Amino acid sequence: MFYDRDLSFIYYGPTRIVFGINSSRDIQAEIEALGCRRAVLVTDPGITKAGLLDRVVKSLGPGCAGVFSDVPQDTGIEVVNAGAAYARKCGADAVVSLGGGSVIDTAKGMCVLMKEGGKLEDFEGVQLLTRWQTPHVVIPTTAGTGSEVTCMAVVLDKRKGQKIFLLENYNTPRTAILDPALTEKLPPLLTASTGMDAMCHAVEALHSIQREPITDGIAMHAIRLLVRNLPICVNNGSDLAARGQMQIAATMAGWAFNNSMVSIVHAMAHSIGAVAGVPHGIANGILLPFGMEYNLPEAAESYALAAEALGTREKGMGEIEAAESAIRAVREFTVRIRHPQRLSEAGVSRDQLAQAAELSVSDGAIIWNPRPVPDSSDVLELFQKAF
């Protein structure tokens, strides 16, 4: 039996997808299609330096109300508040985000404040909003986070020293423009690690306790696209056809985990990121096979599906055998794309593992793990294996 007989779920994925090489040139038409006139463009200094901002500003033409380019790597409440104040001053009625996760989350926060007023802290919570927020068009410049189709924003509250979550269906981006040309210059390691972030979204959506048939199907095809295209992108970043398929895979994996959620691998990646500064994609890529091994007793069925998508399930293979082949395949895949294999390669020291393990069991993602995690000792063992 694949699914519980009393399966019940809501699948939610309202974002319009515009795909194609140079599709970001359509930004003005997409803004108008949303019934808006002038958009504030949100980005970060790296995107500006790379020359990507100029392209989009030009395409927006008179529809560009202004540019807010002060987004740091981990965005904060004060950044969102400043961005919203700027957008109001510009008279913007829409938001365009151009960048990665931090930029997109900043824009999501701004959308709420532009519509509802107040301060971001007032909106900390889950599904509080009762109407659609300011229209938001996302133009991602990496292929990994999936944030262009998710309802979640994570913003740092420096004053309290903690991240706040806004989880709002009514604040899901209206449109995502996937333009492979904007990811062409991503260096190989960043290509590999952001790609493994997407792989992790897909695999974790498959093994989550909230998995369901729609997200399983989406996650499986995301895996197929990733396996085929990520190695090509790592070896030849200029292959825009492969870059495009990677963007589609990341978006599909975003849909999958936005509905099914992620679990232990993300919990561990968040924690080792907080303790040792390991970039999120790299942490996910290293930890994924170890998390799969841990979950194997409870998630063989899910990993057998992953094996089908990875192309390792052979005729006559039983479920466990197929699941084990998926774990091996993920590990071999990370070698093939020259992704770091061990936490020690990513600047982690052994004495940081215990703290990261403690943090992991209190991370929100852990509650969706298929195998219950009784305490931090199991996680510490996993960290040690991955060290």
Residues that bind another protein (CB under 8 A): 8-10, 12, 124-128, 162-165, 167, 169, 210, 261, 362-364, 367
| Rounded CA separation 381/312 (Å) | 28
Nearer to another protein, 155 or 246 (CB): 155
Nearer to another protein, 2 or 11 (CB): 11
Nearer to another protein, 39 or 164 (CB): 164
Nearer to another protein, 181 or 274 (CB): 274
CB neighbours (10 Å) of residue 295? 24
Nearer to another protein, 169 or 384 (CB): 169
Smallest separation, CB 169 to another protein (Å): 5
Nearer to another protein, 168 or 216 (CB): 168
Smallest separation, CB 381 to another protein (Å): 21
Nearer to another protein, 130 or 238 (CB): 130
Smallest separation, CB 162 to another protein (Å): 7
Nearer to another protein, 17 or 128 (CB): 128
Smallest separation, CB 226 to another protein (Å): 25
Smallest separation, CB 156 to another protein (Å): 12
| Rounded CA separation 195/247 (Å) | 9
Smallest separation, CB 363 to another protein (Å): 8
CB 283 within 8 A of CB 272: yes
Nearer to another protein, 127 or 344 (CB): 127
Smallest separation, CB 299 to another protein (Å): 19
Smallest separation, CB 280 to another protein (Å): 17
If you count them, how many residues does the chain have?
387
CB neighbours (10 Å) of residue 4? 8
Smallest separation, CB 259 to another protein (Å): 9
Residue 80 has, within 13 A of its CA and on its CB side, a CA count of: 31
